[in-house]
Amino acid sequence: MSQGNSIANTFDANLWIIKRQTDGLSNADSLMQPTFRANCLNWVLGHIVVGRNRALVLLGLEPVWGDAERAIYETGSTPLLDAQNAVPLERLLALLELAQERLAEKLAAASDVSLQAVVYFRGRDQGLGEAIAGLAWHETYHTGQTELLRQLTGVDDKVI
């Protein structure tokens, strides 16, 4: 399997989990804030969209949203406590789907050689495939948080 297909499969598996963990949840559910130092499900999903945006840009593709929406979901942003500032859950899920389509198509067509191209990302030169694989790993970390954040809503249905 090519590196591009392997990375695309990681993004696809994460989306599969996200869909199951958000199934049946409302936008209000996604905004429930944990009592411990963490952020709500809505922020985690928006943060995943931010990462997918970075992967799209690295691959020379159009990002799925602009700077204004993205800013509240960046690393180090303040906790998302105001529903007025949040992107609705349905839109976040649609953006993840759109990003998935673009990533899967581009990564499936990418050769291992093209993914060795050197890019400057996160303060250093690295291979394009390495940079995108790093973003997929980071996304996987946050995807794991979605199970706990689903439980926070009171839904305990063993989705996965």
Predicted structure pTM score: 0.93
Q: Is the model more confident about 155 or about 145? A: 145
- Binned at pLDDT 50, 70 and 90, residue 128 comes out as very high
The C-alpha atoms of residue 83 and residue 72 are separated, in whole angstroms, by 12
Residue 157: how many other CB atoms lie within 10 Å: 10
Residues 115-144: what's their mean pLDDT? 96
Q: Where are the domains of the chain?
A: 3-152
The predicted structure's pLDDT at residue 160: 54
Residue 5: how many other CB atoms lie within 10 Å: 16
Predicted confidence (pLDDT) per residue in 19-57, tens digit: 999 999 999 999 999 988 889 999 999 999 999 999 999
Q: What angle do CA 104, 132, 124 make, to 5 degrees?
A: 160
CATH of 3-152, one of 2.70.98.30, 3.20.20.60, 3.30.930.10, 1.20.120.450: 1.20.120.450
The predicted structure's pLDDT at residue 58: 96
- The amino acid at residue 133 is A
Q: Are 19 and 128 in contact (CB under 8 A)?
A: no
The predicted structure's pLDDT at residue 117: 95
Residues 131-141: what's their mean pLDDT? 97
